[in-house]
Amino acid sequence: MIAHRSKSWAIRPLPPTEHGMRIDGSIAFVTGANRGIGHAFVRALLGRGASKVYAGTRTPGVVAGDDVVPVGLDITNREQVLAAAAIASDADIVINNAGIATPGRPLTVSLDDARRDFEVNVLGTLSVSQAFAPVLAANGGGALVNVLSVMSWVTVPPMSVYAASKAAGWSLTNALRLQLRDQNTLVTGVFSDSVSTDMTDGLAGPMLSPAEVVGPVLDAIEAGAEEVLVGDYPRTVKASLHDELRLLYPGRDRGAS
């Protein structure tokens, strides 16, 4: 345990999660629900018996279906975030899925591009979490899921600001977990390898399908698990963090870029 002068923010071990929650009969809110992993979340939640899914999208109304309630939501717009939380006041699962990935190496990426990734991936996620925390509390605690990435734990220069934003998202997720445990909210971080969506369009290499990501996340909500690692690479990376400069960046001494 790390000793701090102020007892009020001393780091204490988290107690084990008391319980997960059933997807069957739940009411969920998904951000970025119109395509990719977000759309797969909507389908999978309904497939497992969620009684209602609010589909947050920047273009309102593009996700339709029985038991789907479309909500116009740009997560960087505070008024829209607060309005979404008021509309979805019966939600007991919130999935912070919306995100962007702007390519850029650290020395040349434009600061505007970097700011945009942080605006969406960090501050947008924080904004939604703040707005929905009282909703989850009022509905018994529920679950808050933050879709992070294996890049929370490992970076590559061409995706430097995206990885930095997902690392910040990881830290934020841990802080949210500490604060929300008092209201019995399960906070689950999702660390996935590459997934075949518009975000990875044109990239080579093996890809998971969106369905392969969302299935384990819904399992985790039901089991009360606080982290979901999807694919082999996140497990390798997490197991390497005790010595990551040697194990994850072996070419760095040769100027790898």
Ligand X SMILES: NC(=O)c1ccc[n+]([C@@H]2O[C@H](COP(=O)([O-])OP(=O)(O)OC[C@H]3O[C@@H](n4cnc5c(N)ncnc54)[C@H](OP(=O)(O)O)[C@@H]3O)[C@@H](O)[C@H]2O)c1
The reply to whether 58 sits near ligand X by the rule CB under 6 A is yes
Helix/strand/coil percentages in the chain, nearest 5 = 45, 15, 40
- For the chain, the first-to-last Cα distance in angstroms comes to 37
Residue found by looking up tokens 């390798």 in the block: 236
Compose the 92-111 pattern: x for residues touching ligand X by CB under 6 A, - for all others: -----xxxxx----------
Structure tokens at 74: 């740009």
Question: What mask, x for binding ligand X by CB under 6 A, covers residues 109 to 148?
Answer: -----------x---x----------------------x-
- Choose one: 2-10, 12-20, 35-43, 102-110; the region binding ligand X (CB under 6 A): 35-43
Contact flag: residue 198 with ligand X (CB under 6 A): yes
Report the site for ligand X in 199-218 (rule: CB under 6 A). 199-200
Residue closer to ligand X by CB (options 207, 223) is: 207
Q: Shortest Cβ distance from residue 124 to ligand X (Å)? A: 6
> Cα–Cα distance between 30 and 21 in angstroms, integer?
17
- Binder to ligand X among 88, 195, 217, 237 (CB under 6 A)? 195
CB of 20 to ligand X, least distance (A): 22
Where b means 16+ CB within 10 Å and e means fewer, 66-89 reads eebebbbbbbeeeebbeebbebbe
Q: What are phi and psi of 180, to 5 degrees?
A: -85, -5
Q: Which of 35, 43, 181, 238 binds ligand X (CB under 6 A)?
A: 35
Burial tier of 55 (Cβ tally within 10 Å: 0-12, 13-18, 19+): buried
Count the neighbouring beta carbons within 10 Å of the beta carbon of residue 250: 10
Write out the residues near ligand X by the rule CB under 6 A: 31-32, 34-38, 58-59, 73-76, 97-101, 120, 124, 147, 149, 192, 194-195, 197-200
